Amino acid sequence: MAYLNLTNITKQYGDAVVVDDFNLDVEKGEFVSFLGPSGCGKTTTLRMVAGFEIPTTGKITINGVDVTNNAPNQRNVGMIFQAYALFPNMTVAQNIGFGLRIRKESESAVKDRVKEMISLINLEKHADKYPYQLSGGQQQRVALARALANRPQVLLLDEPLSALDAKIRVSLRAEIRAIQKALGITAIFVTHDQEEALSISDRIVVMYEGKAEQVGTPFEIYNFPKTQFVANFVGSLNNADGEVVDAANGILAMDGVHLKTADAELSTSRKGDKVRISIRPERFSFAAEPMKDNVVDCTIENITFLGSVVRIQISIGNTKFNMDTFNNPFLELPAIGATEKVMCSKEAVLVLGTA
């Protein structure tokens, strides 16, 4: 049995179903992210694990113990909030030691643990400072240390990096991941930032309208999205309408151009079925390797410089696609209006439902 188990969780407020029959097993030491747009139910699910919300139906177990109806202070679950939620009247050391003092641990044990936690987050010089004397990143590190000080069974992180600026966000997420791995703690991380989820997680749960659309590793979620929503929400995606030409051999037609696909979705289709074709921009490249599955003519419509990436807008037939290529100082870009050959592998052509 998994360490953290959510079974058939549903949460309703009046007639509104916020979380709908949600199921998830999380192994001990795993880092799972809930990813989705605002209002998809990810925070509500996290709050149900924390005990701040009680599921309308379903069961939550941690380490084999049913905690569904337990109060938040009886679950030993650590929580980190977007707004840090440090106690303004307490110093860094007092904040970190708060939970231990509530548990009535001896003062020497509290001191030792606080010292250990402060060194874990590298804030030794700030132990006697108040939260308002710290930067946002430092405050969130204190919040992390405070949550970990109690040795929680599960660590819950509710968009902990959203209030920080971009650079701090990147460094702190790496720090959170390193600490989580070092301590082997089970963690659930809520975010609407796909890059954050892809970079930090062992597994990602993509949520939409209260349901888990897809659960998988970052690699699976990005490369093999199972639904149109997942494909669109995670990363950039080109979409086009097409038609099945030969389902057995995975051949599709789009604006008179034939494309090969390896998508298993096609096996249930029949010739003439309308389908939605999706290709990620970075899966296109200029045709230097003629043996690729799909080599097609295109017209260069526009070129946009995005720093590390150059985005080229191409049209294949009447359909416009974006194509991403890595920037380098010696990159030779085609002229706008020129006709070029582009290619992509058959694995890059995804069939995500009907058109």
Partner 1 sequence: MSAITTDAPVGQGKKRWSFRQAGTRFWSWVWFLLGAIYFLVPLYATLRHSLRMERDVIGFKAYVRAFEDNDFWETFLLSNGLAVATIICSVILIVPTAYWIRLRLPQARRIAEFITLLPFVIPAIILVFGLIRTYSAPIDIPFTGIELLKPLTTTKFGTYALITAGYMVLAMPYMYRSVDTGMRVVDIRTLTEAAQSLGAGWFAIITQVILPNVRSALLSGALLTFAIVVGEVTLAAFLGVDAFGPYLFLIGQHRAYEPAALSFVTFLMTWFAMGMIQFVTGGQGQAAGAH
For partner 1, the binding residues (CB under 8 A) are: 50-52, 71-73, 76-79, 81, 83-89, 98-99, 102-103, 130-132, 143, 146-147, 150, 156
CB of 43 to partner 1, least distance (A): 12
- Yes or no: say if 155 and 186 are a contact pair by the CB < 8 Å rule: yes
CB nearer to partner 1: pick between 67 and 352: 67
CB nearer to partner 1: pick between 43 and 238: 43
CB of 105 to partner 1, least distance (A): 11
DSSP codes of every residue in 41-77 = SHHHHHHHHHTSS--SEEEEEETTEE-TT--GGGS-E
CB nearer to partner 1: pick between 45 and 269: 45
CB of 136 to partner 1, least distance (A): 9
Does residue 219 sit in helix, strand or coil? helix
- Yes or no: say if 150 and 100 are a contact pair by the CB < 8 Å rule: yes
CB of 79 to partner 1, least distance (A): 4
CB nearer to partner 1: pick between 147 and 198: 147
CB nearer to partner 1: pick between 94 and 261: 94
Residue ranges with strand state E in 76-202: 77-80, 154-158, 186-191
CB nearer to partner 1: pick between 71 and 295: 71
Total Cβ atoms within 10 A of residue 35 = 28
Alpha carbon distances (Å) from 258 to 108, 264, 280, 296: 73, 18, 18, 9
Does residue 228 sit in helix, strand or coil? helix
Across-strand partners of 189?
33, 157
CB nearer to partner 1: pick between 105 and 297: 105
CB of 100 to partner 1, least distance (A): 9
CB of 210 to partner 1, least distance (A): 22
Does residue 223 sit in helix, strand or coil? helix
CB of 280 to partner 1, least distance (A): 38
Reading the block at residue 169, the tokens are 């966000």
Sheet holding 285-286, edge to edge: 285-286, 339-344, 294-305, 309-316, 319-326
Query: What contacts 24+ positions apart, CB below 8 Å, involve 308-314?
Result: 309/282, 311/281, 314/284, 314/340, 314/342
CB nearer to partner 1: pick between 113 and 226: 113
The residue behind tokens 């050391």 is 93
Reading the block at residue 134, the tokens are 């710290």
CB of 52 to partner 1, least distance (A): 6
